[in-house]
Structure 1
Amino acid sequence: MATPQFPYWLHALSIVSLILGLACAIVIALHQRSHPPKMAVMQWVWPLAALFGSVIWLALHFRAQRADEDVPMWLSVAKGASHCGAGCTLGDIIAEWLAFAFPAIAVWLGWHTVFAEKTFAVWILDYVLAFGIGIAFQYWAIVPMRDLSFGKGVTEAVKADFLSIGAWQVGMYGLMAAGQFLWFRPAYGDIAEVASPEFWFLMQIAMLGGFVTAYPVNWWLVRAGIKERM
């Protein structure tokens, strides 16, 4: 694998964007210590979503705090989609670093046999972890609201988030692939490695793409009564 030669401006922009996302996540986490959200799981969702959404999710967080009981539909859907984003964020962080530290994981998932690119093999693990974590977040949102049993809660969480997570991954994978293979490789010599700011900056952009593709699906899920309005 060749070493990509990223320009200074992109390297600097990547670092600034990542620091800003982390700073927004910390601000949200600190604010929640004195102003905890009514839905406990949002204590995890908001900071995790801010890692990619930065100032946008910082603003959404404070807007949701002000909304109290009268939450507009657009904000309710954004909160619901953020469950997927938080699950995908945490799942991707775990999966990407695991596969970076232990490349054999990617081999087990088809690298060199099914996939020529390691990226696509790791995406399988990304999806599995994102799906599992996203369902867990949805479970802890649904069960307290409906007072469900464990089994029923899991079933309802899967129903609520299966399409949402799938829609998120379509946008995220699409932008990640475009950035890596249509931008970074032709322009700078190769794709960004996990241990580079450029990789995670691109991931931030890709996550925003995931939000865009998941938002209308979440709107429909809420309208259809499959997903709770938050």
Structure 2
Amino acid sequence: MNHPMPAPLFPEYLLWGWFALTALSVAYVAWDLFTRTPEMKVMKWGWVLVTLYTGPVGLLIYWFSCREPSPGTHEQFVAPLWKQAVGSTIHCAAGDATGIIVAAALTGYFGLRMGVDIWLEYAAGFAFGLFIFQALFMKDMMKMSYGQAVRHSFLPEWMSMNAMMAGMLPTMVILMSRDMRAMEATSPWFWAAMSAATLVGVVVSYPVNYWLVKNQLKHGMGTERALGKGGAPQAEASATPPMGHSMPSMTGMQHEMPAAAGHAGHRMTALPEQMPDMATGSSAPVSGLRKAAVTLLTLAMLAGGYWLAARYGDLSMRPGEPMLDMPGMAMPAGHPM
């Protein structure tokens, strides 16, 4: 099947300008994380990866949600629930988006159709997020064996992955349908499409991660100086104590909460859903009915993303197929007539 090739969405020099800004953003985030901001080690790498995929936007998110504004303030700075949810979303994006991008590069190399690509990418994203970024990197923090960590993380990671793919899937397909050079990892348009897809995925998955963190089903933004380096959702109100009351230091909280028991090994003695909700003081587990409802919601989001991809993109396309020169449409440089 021949496919039309429209003119590029924007001049190529803007694309290379974006890549240059991305390189600077990644360099700054990496320098700041590894020299001055006491974020958890797994999240340091998560931020670097997500900034690599999202460029200056990732830097802005990092600046306002994680970067320690002054020495000794990281615990309080990341305490608000919305920032905790940002940390969960970044962790999700680092694992899921990496799996999706690697799979997209491989499926493009083998010339598979987009309708097949997207489900291989979904499986790869879920596997990379669950088995590596969740279970492998977080098992010590959760004080579990690897197998226990996989079982514990499966449902929250699946919910988060569904939401991430609900944003990435239509973005990838629509952009690649607009310019099929974006299906090949050797093309800069591929990386531009993946950058845009990751940005949309982060936005779409944030509300789901907010719910997961609020209900103690996923960890939030962490810090090395508190809670056994594990981090846990904190009440937004904890960052602003009532007038006349002093804020308890996070250092003191380490001695009061059982989660601080394994500082050196990134360990937590309580599972995330067993820790008391800092905003409500409740440690009641989320009911199975609520989990099922949110899981169904994320599946509906994924179905909506697929519908958008099928409606506004081309799921039958594959790399290397000839394209038709349509009136008013520009062919890529070097394309055979």
Normalised to the residue count of structure 2, the TM-score between the two structures is: 0.56
- Note closer, same or farther for the CA distance 1:6–1:197 as it changes in structure 2 (3 Å cut): farther
Partner of 1:35: 36
Moved more, 165-174 or 194-203: 194-203
Aligned pair 1:201/2:192, yes or no?
yes
Aligned pair 1:123/2:125, yes or no?
no
- Cα contact 2:53–2:198 (8 A) shared by 1: yes
Partner of 2:232: none
What pairs up with 1:54-203 in 2 under 5 angstroms?
A: 54-63=55-64, 64-66=66-68, 68-70=74-76, 71=78, 72-103=80-111, 106=112, 118-135=113-130, 136-140=132-136, 142-181=138-177, 184=178, 192-194=182-184, 195-203=186-194
Moved more, 42-51 or 89-98: 89-98
Distance of 2:218 and 2:38 partners within structure 1: 19
- Structure 1 runs of 4+ off > 6 angstroms? none
- Note closer, same or farther for the CA distance 1:166–1:55 as it changes in structure 2 (3 Å cut): same
Match of 2:203 among 208, 212, 219: 212
- Pick the structure with greater CA Rg: 2
Distance of 2:127 and 2:97 partners within structure 1: 12
Runs (5+) with no aligned partner, structure 2: 222-337
Distance of 2:210 and 2:194 partners within structure 1: 24
- Cα contact 1:77–1:222 (8 A) shared by 2: yes
- Note closer, same or farther for the CA distance 1:152–1:180 as it changes in structure 2 (3 Å cut): same
Normalised to the residue count of structure 1, the TM-score between the two structures is: 0.80
Q: Kindly tell me the number of residue pairs found equivalent between the two proteins.
A: 211
- Cα contact 1:48–1:89 (8 A) shared by 2: no
Partner of 1:115: none
Amino acid at match of 2:74: D
- Cα contact 2:101–2:194 (8 A) shared by 1: no
Deviation at 1:158, TM superposition (A): 1.6
Distance of 2:24 and 2:121 partners within structure 1: 25
Distance of 1:149 and 1:60 partners within structure 2: 33
Aligned to 2:182, what secondary structure does the other structure show? coil
Distance of 1:29 and 1:38 partners within structure 2: 11
Distance of 2:21 and 2:116 partners within structure 1: 30
Distance of 2:74 and 2:5 partners within structure 1: 48
Distance of 2:170 and 2:40 partners within structure 1: 31
Distance of 1:205 and 1:81 partners within structure 2: 16
Moved more, 62-71 or 161-170: 62-71
